[in-house]
């Protein structure tokens, strides 16, 4: 199948949003690994502009990527699950053991009653040993942890689910995918995913906290797994994408309208209990913003995304290493920059720029060192500068 450059660019955009979002987490009042001394509610409405859809979009695009990869492997008679697992699980394990620990270390320094004074190497040894003694008010850190790399763990699990379906019932899977494409291509068809997301939020979000712990995260599974499978089903070009492109402006208007209510709702009821009708309306409009934003991004991407270029090829490969590195760099840089006591409107942009600069510098090193590449989700290469055939998938 022809490579979908629009999905490449959307994937690049979506991972770029994560950097801005996680920098924002440092400046809001929500609980995070570390928080700025200047944390306030000021940035929270803007954060909610991306909260409902940023990860949903990533799982949908990842499902499309998996579809292209599956098709390529099937046509070539090549194995699928083994190489895919290697590309996901090795970076996950390496990240948990090496990349993530500084996040937990600075969290302990900031939040542990009485502080922590034994240094990073001593903490790292306790981290690797699974020490459960870092507690505050009965809440203890689970170590080792995957923190932001939970996305990689979920992506692997969802890939296994899809692979099992494709292996055990390939004709049924293809018929289901075709049925989904036809249903979404019909009048009002784009409302079906919205209905699913709204029902999932209304029924599950109040019962299951978002934990990212895999085994008890049922609300997140109810939204992310179907979106991953939906991405697989709709990856191929066809009439559905014409409908998505045509819906881009109405979808954008719906997403922004829903966001205005959500921003008001959470801002107004920060310390109070909202009336139940307003709570249920918030849950419905959360799903509206979630799905409408995805449709708008897909539609505008199909309409306006650039085609192939050296920048696209470089960024496409850089995305996964940047994703693995970015949150640890944000935490370390944020703590280091406190000494300068900068106001947030100066410090924040500097933190974003420094994070991107160090992530790209890190990728520049990783891509040149053959043994490092698999640790960050890249194919092993003895000669990284040799010309490579680019497969028609948008790997995540």
Rounded distance, CA 220 to CA 155, Å? 12
Rounded distance, CA 315 to CA 365, Å? 14
Mean per-residue pLDDT of the chain: 94
* pLDDT over 70 at 383, yes or no: no
Question: Could you give the C-alpha distances from 213 to 57, 145, 223, in angstroms and in order?
Answer: 20, 9, 15
Residue 229's Cβ-count burial label (10 Å; 0-12, 13-18, 19+) is buried
Q: What is the pLDDT of residue 394?
A: 40
Question: Which residues, 6 or more positions from 277, have their beta carbon under 8 angstroms from its beta carbon?
Answer: none
329-338 average pLDDT score: 98
pLDDT digits (tens, 9 = 90+) for 96-141: 999 999 999 999 999 998 889 999 999 999 999 999 999 988 889 9
Give long-range contacts, CB 8 A cutoff, 24+ apart: 105-113: 106/33, 106/34, 106/331, 106/332, 106/335, 107/33, 107/34, 107/141, 108/134, 108/141, 109/335, 110/33, 110/34, 110/35, 111/136, 112/136
| Proportion of the chain above pLDDT 70, given as a percent | 96
**Least confident among 70-79, 339-348, 375-384:** 375-384
Q: What is the pLDDT of residue 271?
A: 77
In angstroms and rounded to an integer, the radius of gyration of the C-alpha atoms of the chain is 21
* pLDDT over 70 at 274, yes or no: yes
pLDDT digits (tens, 9 = 90+) for 11-46: 999 999 999 999 999 999 999 999 999 999 999 999
Question: In which band, very low, low, confident or very high, does the pLDDT at 56 lie, cut at 50, 70 and 90?
Answer: very high
User: What is the crossing angle of helices 81-94 and 150-168, to 10°?
Assistant: 170
Rounded distance, CA 57 to CA 255, Å? 14
């Amino acid at each position: 199948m022809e490579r979908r450059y629009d999905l490449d660019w959307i994937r690049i955009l979506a991972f770029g949003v994560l950097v801005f979002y996680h920098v924002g987490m440092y400046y809001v009042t929500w609980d995070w690994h570390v928080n700025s001394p200047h944390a306030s509610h000021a940035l929270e409405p803007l954060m909610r502009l991306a909260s409902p859809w940023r990860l949903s979009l990533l799982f949908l695009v990842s499902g499309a990527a998996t579809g292209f990869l599956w098709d390529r492997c099937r046509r070539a008679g090549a194995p699928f699950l083994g190489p895919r697992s290697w590309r996901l699980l090795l970076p996950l394990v390496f990240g948990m053991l090496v990349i993530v620990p500084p996040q937990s270390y600075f969290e302990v320094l900031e939040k542990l009653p009485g502080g922590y004074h034994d240094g990073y190497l001593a903490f790292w040894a306790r981290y690797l040993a699974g020490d459960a003694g870092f507690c505050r008010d009965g809440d203890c850190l689970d170590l080792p942890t995957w923190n932001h790399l939970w996305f990689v763990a979920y992506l692997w699990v969802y890939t296994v689910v899809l692979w099992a379906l494709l292996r055990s019932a390939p004709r049924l899977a293809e018929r289901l995918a075709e049925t989904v494409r036809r249903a979404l291509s019909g009048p009002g068809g784009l409302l079906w995913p919205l209905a699913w997301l709204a029902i999932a939020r209304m029924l599950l979000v109040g019962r299951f906290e978002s934990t990212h712990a895999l085994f008890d995260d049922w609300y997140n599974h109810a939204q992310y797994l179907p979106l991953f499978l939906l991405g697989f089903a709709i990856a191929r070009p066809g009439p559905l994408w014409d409908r998505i492109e045509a819906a881009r402006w109405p979808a954008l208007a719906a997403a922004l309208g829903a966001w205005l209510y959500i921003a008001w709702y959470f801002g107004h009821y920060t310390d109070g209990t909202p009336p139940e009708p307003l709570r249920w309306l918030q849950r419905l409009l959360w799903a509206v913003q979630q799905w409408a934003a995805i449709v708008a991004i897909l539609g505008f991407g199909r309409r306006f995304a650039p085609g192939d270029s050296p920048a696209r090829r470089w960024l496409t490969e850089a995305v996964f290493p940047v994703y693995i590195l970015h949150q640890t760099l944000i935490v370390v840089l944020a703590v280091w920059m406190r000494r300068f006591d900068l106001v947030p409107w100066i410090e924040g942009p500097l933190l974003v720029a420094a994070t991107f600069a160090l992530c790209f510098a890190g990728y520049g090193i990783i891509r040149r060192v053959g043994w490092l590449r698999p640790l960050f989700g890249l194919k092993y290469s003895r000669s990284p500068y040799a010309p490579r055939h680019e497969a028609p998938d948008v790997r995540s």
